[in-house]
Amino acid sequence: MAPAGTASDALDRPHFIGIGGAGMSGVAKVLAMRGARVSGSDTKDSPIVGALRELGATVHIGHAAGNIAADATGVVVSSAIRADNLELVTAHERGIAVVHRSDALAALMDGSRPIAVAGTHGKTTTTSMLAVSLRTLGLDPSYVIGGDLDAPGSSARHGDGEIFVAEADESDRSFHKYAPEVAIILNVELDHHANYASMDEIYASFETFVGRIRSGGALVISADQSGARELTARVSGGEEPPRVLTYGEDESADVRVLAIEPHGLTSEVTVRLAESLGGAEITFTVSVPGRHYALNAVAALTAGAALGVPAGELAPALASYTGVKRRLQLKGTAAGVQVIDSYAHHPTEIAADLEAIRGGAGEGRVLVVFQPHLFSRTQELGTEMGEALALADASVVLDIYPAREDPVPGITSGLVIDAAARHGADVTAEHDRNAVPELIAGMAKPGDLVLTMGAGDVTDLGPEILARLQSPEN
């Protein structure tokens, strides 16, 4: 990687390897909006790539040494880029500064008032809630999110306001690069098993992140989740602990949740603020279903209050957030069957989304098409994934999506399937993803909800399932 202090200089004419990825595209977009001459490459064309081209970026499909311009000032990579990538090798050979995505994002946040959103689950949703609500209030924040809000390329924006909201990824410890004024930690659980061997390593990593909070800044953290409470205890004993603001249903919370009342696919939330935050009792609407999303909204409210945004103004603005792609996103309805896409891939996320969607199913059934993500995660959490799937009325489980990993001998989606079956689930293995639309069309009845669930390419099946449901044969 480039030596310390070179990231800003390297971002004048940057080349992104894997520019179409969720995280990389956001950084590239903000740079392009700020006037940088952006180029990049990706393995395939996509609407996100198209959105970057509309901003003036030059994007090549496929990796080749010649893709890197002669006057490129830096090459930006993520942890997913392998050392033998042809463009990365070329950058080293030509002496071009190589910058990790996290260093590039940290450079973008210089001179702003950053809010960094961390945690094992809920980062994208909470970051999105803040970005949307702050824009609704006219504060014009900059933001980089790990998923599109609506249109392709909407995961990031350069704003003229002083606030910068960013999703902070703990998976590869890259969130250690940020120096937020306000850090949100939603939860702390064991995940990313290729990089963390134990909860002690997880806690140590989050402690380092907390230690990066700017002097006079604040830590916003859950008062309910056990891992978050343990982390709070660990960081509170430091020499210069940050200001800690807790949120949740626990009586001790600085922003205490008094009630979450579901209303179909929305919720009404009532909170009481501590005297240090004004002591008000506020009721507001969260326009997405589920207790976990309601709590994400309360985390966003608390962070805004920590930054000085009046809670009484931010609370109603949070209702303007209506969801983000892949987070219980309705893809469409056909033959009386709703098809919804979920990014959930960790057992806690799977259970939370299934519980949330159950409230909107009425008398209908919840049918899941689940694709395990990563061999390492399935090896460690496959049993728990299967247990969570038992909350569905029926599930179809695909083969593991490998992403950046090589296969692990003996680790297959059978771990998930066997665990689900042991817990009484109606579960079917399907090794041919092309067969899924036909399979689901034979299972689904009017009133049912179908969830495509996982962090891989299972999301592509939603439109195919809808098309099959709409066909005359159904």
* Phi and psi angles of residue 114, each rounded to the nearest 5 degrees, phi first: -80, 140
CB 416 within 8 A of CB 385: yes
Angle at 329 between CA 327 and CA 332, to 5 degrees: 165
Q: How far apart are the first and last CA of the chain?
A: 54
**How far is the C-alpha of 122 from the C-alpha of 440, rounded, in Å?**
28
Catalytic residues: 123-124, 167
- Of 135, 164, 115, residue with least CA distance to 321: 135
Indicate if the alpha-carbon torsion angle 154, 158, 160, 163 is positive or negative. positive
Q: Which residues are documented as binding site for ATP?
A: 119-125
Cβ atoms of 290 and 283 within 8 Å: the answer is no
Burial pattern 30-41, b for ≥16 Cβ within 10 A else e, equals bbbbeebbbbbb
3-state helix, strand, coil in the chain (%, to 5): 40, 25, 40
